Structure 1
Amino acid sequence: MKKQQQTPYKSVLSFLLIIVSLFAFKKTEEDSAYEKEIKAWHQQRIDNLKKENGWLNLAGLFWLEEGKNSFGSNSDNKIVFPKDKSKPFLGDFILSKNEVYIETKADAEIFNDEQTVGKLKIFPSEKNITLKHQSLRWFVIKRGDRYAIRLRDLESPFLKEFHGIDTFPIDEKWKIKATFEPTIGKKIPIIDITGQTSQQDSPGTLHFTIAGKNYTLDALLEGEHLFILFGDKTNKVETYGSGRFLTAEKPDSEGVTYLDFNKAYNPPCAFTPYATCPLPPKQNQLSIEIKAGEKNYGHH
């Protein structure tokens, strides 16, 4: 039987189908690479939450009063550590003229690195001091003109009960080009959940467009990156009620950077009642749903 010859039309059609298939394959590869980047970022985020200095093991936040603040697991102390996690009476934290000292009981078994602690100035200090007792770790934080002991428990139930964070589907449309307008010398008030307000430097404002509408976000600095506190219309519905965080690269020579909302993440307060999270300023409340990044966690 004579083999039917392919018509020129069929040849062109086959060629076009091959080109389309190759393009689709390439596009799939590109999308796959981006998804892998976001998933790797999110996995690193979860790993960081679980670390010894992560947010999941916070076990207490205790504001210090001027003078002696006794501490231990016994309820007679001013600062009561979790039951079955420490000895009943460990000693005193002493707040005096903006300095914090610790004075321990003889049998307290409290360590700074590998050295037992008797009496020691723990704040301020050249090196951040974290003290240890059994599974507990603690250090001093300052918020405004107040001082507190932040306590960690390496056996925290928050850590044991953690099973990951839900996210919106990864979509590259939420990686948005932004232009950076410098605001040299500008400070913006940032309120935290304790009601403390601090004036923080804002190096500039980010301008960007979503679905044809223009938006702006005031940025802060965090090391070598821009740090953005923002709210949107998904808050209290699909995402954490008070807003989320986002970091971005500093702008290039033309003032361009990218806001990748697939990397929007929950503040520490979404995971623990013992954090003191900053809240987005009023001008950073976006009148749009940002359906990207981390969703709400647990019951918060």
Structure 2
Amino acid sequence: MTTEATSTDLHAFTESWLEWYRGQEARLAAPHGFLAITGLHWLDDRPQRFPDAPGAWRTGPDGVVVDLDEGEELVVDGTPVRGEHRFGVLPERGGVDAVWGDAVIEVARRGGYDIVRPRHPDAPLRTAFTGTPAYAPDPRWVVTGRYVPFDTPRPTAVGAAVEGLEHVYDAPGRVEFELEGQRLSLTAFPGHGPGRLLVLFTDATSGVTTYAANRSLALDPPAADGTVVLDFNRAANLPCAYTDLATCPLPPAENRLPVAIEAGQKIPRERGGS
């Protein structure tokens, strides 16, 4: 390969990474993204009022209910609602966004619990956000691995950024690969989209230059022969890297890699990163 071709390939590689990085930042800092969250409220059968959301909230066997005061209104699925509104039983990791003025009130279920998580565009964490530090993209951190499906998906319980909370995922298989001369593997969870996979991991940079609790890597569907590409330049922070108001899952124990992956997003400035 000529030097000119190598330079062109590296430029295209860097531009593709920049497009990914900007997309990550845009979603995070969107008007109702994770940086806009102002509270993480856990519901039970007692009506509760919160300073950053309208109404009195409770939950029970029939799901989440809000009682709105006179003059209060939410817009749910495009329809204004007043008085009592029943959100019903929410699926795990599911939720509903109710609009309240310029805010969105996220009503969701995480780890078997119903939560209310308001998102306000003027949240200080969002308005002060200046971007996430990251390693410069480097092709050496792109490795080809092999996806090995389990005979049947394995229910895998993992901890969460919130103490005492547990998430359970049906892991469809694992990804085997070599990096830095070591044979490694990662348990994979279902990703966003048909056939896609998601791996949560830590490595020797965790707590040093990258966020201590976890990073995530989205993988395209494996090829017919099981081949899958892991581009660790796209190792991303989860929301808990920025805010304590997130319920992010932690990696399974076997996904703690013994190598230093000096690629992807680093510790956010909000957590003391530079």
Alignment TM-score, normalising by the size of structure 2: 0.90
Letter of the 2:89 counterpart? P
- 1:189-246 deviations in whole A, cap 9, x for unaligned? 2221222223311111111111221111010011331100000010111000112000
Letter of the 1:235 counterpart? S
The match for 2:136 is 169
The match for 1:123 is 88
For the 8 Å contact 2:105–2:116, the answer to whether it is kept is: yes
Alignment of 1:49-88 (within 5 A): 49-69=28-48, 71=49, 79-81=50-52
The match for 2:211 is 240
Q: Which has the higher contact order (CA 8 A, sep 6+)?
A: 2
Shift of 1:169: 1.6
Letter of the 2:219 counterpart? A
The match for 1:288 is 259
Distance 1:25 1:159, change over 3 A: same
The match for 1:155 is 122
Secondary structure in 1 matching 2:207: coil
Larger radius of gyration: 1
The match for 2:55 is 91
The match for 1:7 is none
Alignment of 1:210-221 (within 5 A): 210-221=179-190
Higher mean Cα deviation, 226-235 or 22-31? 22-31
Distance 1:197 1:109, change over 3 A: closer
Rounded to whole Å, the distance in 1 between the matches of 2:190 and 2:60 is: 32
Alignment TM-score, normalising by the size of structure 1: 0.82
Rounded to whole Å, the distance in 2 between the matches of 1:150 and 1:266 is: 20
Question: Percent identity, aligned pairs only?
Answer: 26
Unaligned runs of 5+ in 2: none
Alignment of 1:39-54 (within 5 A): 39-54=18-33
Rounded to whole Å, the distance in 2 between the matches of 1:125 and 1:202 is: 22
Count of residue correspondences: 264
Distance 1:68 1:187, change over 3 A: same
The match for 1:250 is 221
The match for 1:19 is none
Rounded to whole Å, the distance in 1 between the matches of 2:30 and 2:201 is: 26
Distance 1:158 1:202, change over 3 A: same
Unaligned runs of 5+ in 1: 1-21, 72-78
- 1:24-72 deviations in whole A, cap 9, x for unaligned? 1111001111111111110111111122442111111101121322x2x
Shift of 1:133: 2.8
The match for 1:187 is 155
Distance 1:141 1:236, change over 3 A: same
Shift of 1:96: 2.9
For the 8 Å contact 1:135–1:155, the answer to whether it is kept is: no
Higher mean Cα deviation, 270-279 or 180-189? 180-189
Rounded to whole Å, the distance in 1 between the matches of 2:63 and 2:81 is: 21
Secondary structure in 1 matching 2:38: strand
The match for 1:136 is 103
Shift of 1:117: 2.0
- 1:170-205 deviations in whole A, cap 9, x for unaligned? 110100010111113222222212222233111111
